[in-house]
Amino acid sequence: MTTLYKTVGENIVRLRQLKGWTQEDLAHYADLTVSSVSKIERGKSNPTLRTLDRIADALGVETDELLRF
């Protein structure tokens, strides 16, 4: 499972950076805390599907894009 969390986190970082956003920006647009975004991006957190959906919406992508290997 750790590999899945790490992959999701790496995908979020990549997509966030493509937008030129900081973790603070993503947290704001996804209505999350910066700490939560940081933990998810580092693969240290198990985000719910709702949280992944909020992140995807904020980034303007489909949720499944966060799960791609």
Please state the separation of Cα 57 from the chain's center in Å.
10
At 69 the pLDDT is: 87
At 28 the pLDDT is: 98
Angle at 18 (CA atoms; ends 5, 8), nearest 5 degrees = 10
At 65 the pLDDT is: 96
Task: Read off the amino acid at residue 15.
Answer: L
Please tell me the class of the 2-61 domain.
Answer: mainly alpha
CA dihedral 26, 31, 35, 39 (to 10 degrees): -70
Q: Pick out the chain residues at pLDDT < 50.
A: none
Report field, pTM of the whole predicted structure over 0.75: yes
